[in-house]
Amino acid sequence: MLLYNSYSARKEEFVIPTDRPVTVYVCGVTPYDTTHMGHARTYLVFDVLIRYLRWKGAEVIYCQNVTDIDDPLFERAKRDGVDWRKLAELHTAQFLDDTMAMNMLRPTYYPKASHEIPSMIEIIEHLVAEGYAYVREGNVYYSIDRAEAFGQMAQMNYEQLLETANERGNNPNDPFKEDPLDFVLWQRSKNDEPIWESPWGPGRPGWHIECSAMATRYLGEQIDIHGGGRDLIFPHHSCEIAQSEPYTGKQPFARIWMHTGLVWLGEAKMSKSLGNLVFVRDALMQYDPNVLRWYLLNFSYRKDFSYEEKGVAYTQVRVERVRQALHVSGGSGEELEIEQVRTEFDMHMSNNLRTPYALNALLAGAELVLAAAAEGRTVTAAQSLLVDITEAIGLRLS
Ligand SMILES: [Zn+2]
């Protein structure tokens, strides 16, 4: 199949392996708040990718992590006067409830960063020993001078990289850093932050090393598809490459880097800082999960889009047509044959997951079934074909 690789900035042929499982790693949430549409869209795209790979006969091993060591989680716990572990557990459980309500597949592995410290320390020790990282006063930094083409995937110059990193949590004024873009592998914990022991003293890991450690531990030194929202390309995924490749000695760390576009509300990106979030559980009080799934998949996964209630409402009609087609009783006349619907669905999905077109093919198939049933034709085989497609895209309509 063809998949757009953010690393090479073009569509590439991804040959689905038949002699081994496909490995997929998707960066998970920081569990301190409720699941919003931006999250739902990202995890839904990977849910559909995995369903499609399985539909094509592949075995898929899917790892999604929980980022339960992260500044926003600790800050929220402090603000609310609650234990960070309890807060993380609560929101992880809620996230899983929301994704289950949306009929998303459970990952094969679902590791929590806080349980994976030894593998992070092992990678950091290796990077220090090989001169990729340096230790200052209990902190360990990655030296971007040593990285091969650091930030290449972001396609930005140094100034743009630095500006972007600063917007996303980098501290360029850290006096211990040799370069303002060097990033933290291990840091001394601030007062009343959680602490783990390490060879460099008590502290906690940086965010990027968490994913390098979990991805290599659960999926191996090289993974097939690594995904996340587009805002993770830099610095998060670029830092993962810089850490993982010298550690394993293997390139590339991920064969395909796959990124989803962002969800907006009106004129602004949906974000916690702006407070303009639409939560999945609120939307599900109003709409059938199949409707929400169809609506979110009706945009090309790499594109940004603005969430609109009227769009969701409009989608209801389409979902209802497919549901009717699956339940309609035909007659005993000439059998309807719609094999071309399966071919068309497959063609669009294998072309970089063109879900809007794949859904149109499904809808067209449903219309054929409804028309044929009205003429008294036999539609049972066509209905089974439609069921097979709805399952491949995660709709539960039969
Ligand atoms: Zn990650």
* Domain identity same for 222 and 285: no
Co-location of 9 and 84 in the same domain: yes
> What separation in Å is there between the alpha carbon of 213 and the centre of ligand 1?
10
Q: For residue 114, tell me if it sits in a domain.
A: yes
Give the pLDDT confidence score for residue 1 in this predicted structure: 98
Both 93 and 219 in one domain: the answer is: yes
Last residue of one domain, picked from the residues 260, 285, 320: 260
Residue 21: inside a domain: yes
Question: Distance (Å, rounded) from C-alpha 294 to C-alpha 36?
Answer: 16
- Sign of torsion, CA 274 275 279 282? negative
Residue 183 Cα to ligand 1 midpoint, Å, equals 15
Question: Which letter does DSSP use for residue 189 in this model?
Answer: P
CA of 232 to the centre of ligand 1 (A): 8
Q: How far is the CA of 228 from the centre of ligand 1 (A)?
A: 8
Q: For residue 332, how far is its CA from the centre of ligand 1 (angstroms)?
A: 55
Whether residue 344 is predicted with pLDDT greater than 90 in this model: the reply is yes
pLDDT in tens, 116-155: 999 999 999 999 999 999 999 999 999 999 998 999 999 9
Tell whether 156 is covered by a domain. yes
- CATH no. for residue 130? 3.40.50.620
In the block, tokens 């499609």 appear at 52
Distance from the alpha carbon of residue 76 to the mean position of ligand 1, in angstroms:
20
For 42-90, what is each residue's pLDDT tens digit?
Answer: 999 999 999 999 999 999 999 999 999 999 999 999 999 999 999 999 9
103 Cα to the center of ligand 1, angstroms: 23
Counting the structural domains of the chain, the total is 2
In a domain, 124, yes or no: yes
CA of 279 to the centre of ligand 1 (A): 22
Q: Both 247 and 275 in a single domain?
A: no
pLDDT digits (tens, 9 = 90+) for 158-190: 999 999 999 999 999 999 999 999 999 999 988
Calculate how far, in angstroms, residue 236's C-alpha sits from the geometric centre of ligand 1.
6
Is 251 part of any domain? Answer: yes
pLDDT class for 267, splitting at 50, 70, 90? confident
pLDDT of residue 274: 85
Ligand 1 midpoint to CA 351 (Å): 26
User: In this structure, are residues 231 and 262 in contact, taking their beta carbons and an 8 Å threshold?
Assistant: yes
**pLDDT confidence of residue 81:** 95
CA 28–ligand 1 middle distance (angstroms) = 7
As a whole number of angstroms, the distance between CA 185 and CA 1 comes to 36
CA of 70 to the centre of ligand 1 (A): 11
For residue 192, what pLDDT is reported? Answer: 82
Does one domain contain both 200 and 106?
Answer: yes
Q: Do residue 243 and residue 311 come from a single domain?
A: no
Res 249: pLDDT: 98
Give Cβ neighbours of residue 303 (< 8 Å, ≥ 6 apart): 261
Cα 254 to averaged position of ligand 1 atoms, centre (Å)? 13
Range of the domain at 386: 268-392
Indicate the pLDDT class of residue 272, thresholds 50, 70 and 90: confident
Cis upstream peptide for 17 (omega within 30°): no
- Domain boundary, last residue among 260, 277, 297: 260
Q: Give the model's pLDDT for residue 106.
A: 97
Q: How far is Cα 398 from Cα 395, in angstroms, rounded to an integer?
A: 9
Same domain, 235 and 342: no
For residues 26 and 117, what is the distance between their CA atoms, to the nearest angstrom? 19
Give the distance (Å) from ligand 1 centre to CA of residue 82. 25
Q: Specify whether 236 is located in the same domain as 313.
A: no
The answer for residues whose C-beta is within 8 angstroms of residue 302's C-beta and 6 or more apart is: 4, 230, 259, 260, 261
Residue 150 domain-assigned? yes
Q: Identify the weakest region by mean pLDDT among 167-171, 232-236, 250-254.
A: 167-171
C-alpha 237 to ligand 1 mean position (Å): 7
Ligand 1 centroid vs 311 CA: distance in angstroms?
A: 31
Structure tokens at 171: 């501290």
Co-location of 256 and 282 in the same domain: no
Torsion angle defined by CA atoms of residues 160, 30, 255 and 241, in that order, rounded to the nearest 10 degrees = 50
Which tokens sit at 337? 């044959």
CATH classification of the domain holding 364: 1.20.120.640
- 249's CB contacts (< 8 A; 6+ apart) are none
Tell whether 75 and 202 lie within a shared domain.
Answer: yes
- Take residue 54 and report the two structure tokens written for it: 């399985």
Instruction: State the pLDDT confidence band at 289, using cuts at 50, 70 and 90.
Output: very high
323 and 201 in a common domain: no
**Distance from the alpha carbon of residue 365 to the mean position of ligand 1, in angstroms:** 39
CA of 80 to the centre of ligand 1 (A): 26
Specify if 157 maps to a domain: yes
Task: Tell me the CA–centroid distance for residue 322 and ligand 1, in Å.
Answer: 37
Residue 172 sits in the same domain as residue 189: yes
Q: Where does a domain end: 260, 293, 323?
A: 260
- In this structure, is residue 398 part of a structural domain? no
How many A from CA of 282 to the centre of ligand 1?
A: 27
* Whole-number Å distance between alpha carbons of 311 and 90: 31
* CA distance linking residue 175 with residue 196, whole number of Å: 23
Question: Which pairs from 153-156 meet CB under 8 Å and 24+ separation?
Answer: 153/6, 153/7, 153/233, 153/234, 153/237, 153/238, 153/241, 153/257, 154/233, 154/234, 154/238, 155/9, 156/234
Helix then strand then coil, in percent of the chain rounded to 5, is: 50, 15, 35
What are the residues facing 377 on neighbouring strands?
333
pLDDT exceeds cutoff 90 at 273: no
Closest CA to 361 of 330, 331, 392, 335: 392
What would the two tokens of residue 118 be? Answer: 């030894």
